[in-house]
Amino acid sequence: MPTTTRRRHTPAQAETLALLRGEARSRPVVDPGLAGGLRAWLEDGVSPLLVGLGAEQGTRRIDKRILDEALGGSGAPSAVSLPLARGALVDALFRQQLAEGPSGDPMADALAALACDDRRQDVVTFVAELAAAERAALAREVALHAASLAARWPRLAPSWLPRPQDPLAVSLAGGRVVLAGVVDLALGAPAEGRASVCLVELKSGPPRPSDAAERAWYALLETVRSGAPPFRVATFYSRTGQLEHQDVTDELLAAAVQRTLRGLEALGYEGNGPRR
């Protein structure tokens, strides 16, 4: 990641970038065998869970919500709700903030962005069908998140190589299991000697205990996919402007592998397939 920037930033924006950038000299040197070792650990753990399943069972895509649900968490929401709609709207504004700067009309701009995405038509419809008072309350809430984004995030220079909605996927067992996710923001060039990528998740809700495990999940996917770990992972909470971050260590990645295998085992990949 770059260590300097020519853009003018407010103190709050400069603080955000400093937390994401860290000290270049303190970033770890990439162990060329780390990613391969993690993949081998995952493969060894997955293989016995697939005993008795034929290739006709197809590919099983495991994302963070499926894994969380398997481990006793809430998993994926079954329908669009106000919190889910708020999150989708704020996600759209986050991407706009990084590329173009602050929105003049947060609610309208966010809805326009979602309307261009076929996967988000349920959110657009949900918002359109809200009662006037509910829609106005949601618009006020979205405006607060937009102000927080503008206060803490500048437009990112191309030298940061920002990649919003960066897809991550790791294929295991010859493609029978795919660990997958989409991280809200990836920053930095591929590693050349030292780890250089930072991953950021955006949350419009309050902090949750599972957020740290989610950061580790994305760190694991990035490490195995690219061959080098990110040096830092972070969660930005748009309601408060809080940025939680942690450095990626071997211990963090090992814990992510163990949690992933526990989740796959809990899904019941034995005999006739998943219990879900």
pTM for this one?
Answer: 0.91
What is the average per-residue pLDDT within 155-176? 94
pLDDT digit string (tens) for 13-29?
999 999 998 888 888 89
Q: Is the per-residue pLDDT at 4 higher than 50?
A: no
Beta-carbon neighbour count of residue 239 at 10 Å?
15
Beta-carbon neighbour count of residue 58 at 10 Å?
11
Identify the band that residue 258 occupies on the pLDDT scale cut at 50, 70 and 90: very high
Beta-carbon neighbour count of residue 135 at 10 Å?
14
Are 7 and 158 in contact by the 8 Å Cβ rule? The answer is no
Query: Sign of the CA dihedral 41, 42, 45, 48?
Result: negative
pLDDT digit string (tens) for 30-48?
999 999 999 999 999 998 8
Average pLDDT value for the chain: 90
Are 264 and 177 in contact by the 8 Å Cβ rule? The answer is yes
Q: Is the per-residue pLDDT at 65 higher than 50?
A: yes
pLDDT value for 50: 81
Percent of the chain at pLDDT above 70? Answer: 91
Residue whose structure tokens are 């903030």:
97
What is the average per-residue pLDDT within 88-98? 97
pLDDT value for 23: 84
Q: Is the per-residue pLDDT at 87 higher than 80?
A: yes
Q: Is the per-residue pLDDT at 53 higher than 80?
A: no
Q: Is the per-residue pLDDT at 79 higher than 90?
A: no
**Helix locations, the chain, DSSP H:** 11-21, 34-46, 64-70, 82-100, 106-115, 121-128, 132-152, 210-226, 250-267
pLDDT digit string (tens) for 166-196?
999 999 999 999 999 999 999 998 887 899 9
pLDDT value for 3: 45
pLDDT value for 114: 97
Question: Coil, strand or helix: which one is 11?
Answer: helix
